[in-house]
Structure 1
């Protein structure tokens, strides 16, 4: 959707050419402003004007703004540490390393799963927006683990449907501070954007439904390793839910973790890993589960705790 901007012409722009004045007023290039005028998308007091016409003080200016740029198309670039766990003609499953995005987004210039697969010669589905073709699920940049990408159009359609219908099992392991009570249970709390920090999320009454099941695997003095199964897939769901219980993921200062503990364990990111994903294969319906081992930094953190 293109936005329309309307305003009176400021005194400081009076007498300027339309293209030059719009460039100053809207922060676009003079060439872009000229194209808008040439396309009949700039008017003064209801009458279309050309790029060389002059702006008149207090005249009512209306401009149909150019479409906002979308995310860049994925670049075929090798991704260090990304391992292919399984592939066939319908899907590819990878071990996504920390520091790698699922697909290109506005503002992200680092490596991506789709770019790494393209560089490795894997064909992926063309379904979906251009920058996320084949993407049926995502993991946060700061979270490692197994991630599935559709390789065929049929695979994309079937896997998207399975995720939408919650027919996919998603298991994570998380190291959380303290000891959750009860040691096993369900967190059923809606999640929405934080009112004072839009890049964070929080539990709030008007949020979207979010359900997390967990069970203690191993308890240490300062932290607990938990097995987590998700019913829903909200952004930052595990991190938000355990933070709301005052048991944030170790190494996650965004949601209240202790930096001293993270430093002691050698962590520079949250201890959170997607260990397994299960689904019915798109082609023949057989149930398959793909597992993913811990990366070195998470293994090291556990070894430190076990050695205490």
Structure 2
């Protein structure tokens, strides 16, 4: 896929790899540098190096390479299927499972498990992410919709784009929230100091999280979150931004936290219009036992 960008005045003197990193937030800076090395990036129709300093008005043209075709093997991994018909699957993903294969995780993913259960998945997202319309983080548990046909995939993706999919999460955060309800409206993009993290940044993509308090404990709060947008790590980044990081979060949480092998975050409710029948479907799954055990211990402490 070929893309074009005219360098803005505020991007003057910035390195080409940094400018492209802002324009391609789903890719790491090292990946972008490899594009430049492979001569997939031109400025004013000239090949440049990663340290090229952009000038206002420069025309950048870059080509995002197609992912290398890799065979994804079906694996006999038990999965909790909440709903299934010929077009759509709804799965309750366990904590600790990666959604789709990547360079570091070619096996043991949700896609490997689904392919064993059902051979036909939509091909819109390519060989590494068949059927995957949206994702939840490895250490986030909960409900995920999967498209079995291209027609279903297109319909579900449109609903996500139009913000009509109902998604509610439960989380446990550090600190005691004073307000019963609130909205966090802050743009999210790549962290400029750590490309493996996301952060609230001025030039990020719009991100809106609504929340309400379910219960308060000594030093902690149990919250329900409703997503209006679905940015990478959105809930985790937003709650750290307002000073209430998620319990157990190794990337965005405090060093001293409750050790539960990842963030206390569960996708509890998922609702959408069936892309073929137009019927409204809504599903709900309780958080896993480990999540509920933390709440029981906090209740005992007061």
Q: TM-score per shorter chain, which class?
A: 0.7 to 0.9
Residue 290 of structure 1 and its aligned partner are, at CA, apart by: 1.2
Deviation string, structure 1 residues 233-274 (Cα, Å, up to 9, x no partner):
100000000001110000013113343x413xxx11100000
* Alpha-carbon separation, structure 1, partners of 2:69 and 2:141: 23
CA RMSD in angstroms comes to: 1.9
Alignment of 1:233-244 (within 5 A): 233-244=230-241
- Decide whether the 8 Å contact of 2:122 with 2:150 is kept in 1: yes
* Alpha-carbon separation, structure 2, partners of 1:233 and 1:211: 8
Quickly say closer, same or farther: Cα 1:280–1:245, change in 2 above 3 A.
same
- Decide whether the 8 Å contact of 1:79 with 1:116 is kept in 2: yes
**Is 1:113 aligned to residue 110 of structure 2?**
yes
> What does residue 279 of structure 2 align with?
286
* Alpha-carbon separation, structure 2, partners of 1:86 and 1:256: 34
* Alpha-carbon separation, structure 1, partners of 2:170 and 2:148: 27
Residue 128 of structure 1 and its aligned partner are, at CA, apart by: 2.4
Alignment of 1:1-308 (within 5 A): 70=68, 72-80=70-78, 82-121=79-118, 123-259=120-256, 261-263=257-259, 267-308=260-301
Residue 185 of structure 1 and its aligned partner are, at CA, apart by: 0.5
| Unmatched tracts of structure 1, length 5 or more | 3-66
- Decide whether the 8 Å contact of 2:184 with 2:210 is kept in 1: yes
| Unmatched tracts of structure 2, length 5 or more | 3-64
What SS is found at the alignment partner of 2:254?
A: coil
Residue 125 of structure 1 and its aligned partner are, at CA, apart by: 2.1
* Alpha-carbon separation, structure 2, partners of 1:78 and 1:301: 31
Instruction: Give TM-score scaled by structure 1 length.
Output: 0.73
Residue 70 of structure 1 and its aligned partner are, at CA, apart by: 3.1
* Alpha-carbon separation, structure 1, partners of 2:71 and 2:246: 33
- Decide whether the 8 Å contact of 2:73 with 2:107 is kept in 1: no
* Alpha-carbon separation, structure 2, partners of 1:90 and 1:178: 43
Residue correspondences, number: 239
What SS is found at the alignment partner of 2:269?
A: strand
> What does residue 37 of structure 2 align with?
none
Residue 68 of structure 1 and its aligned partner are, at CA, apart by: 7.9
- Decide whether the 8 Å contact of 1:191 with 1:234 is kept in 2: yes
Deviates more, 1:119-128 or 1:187-196: 119-128
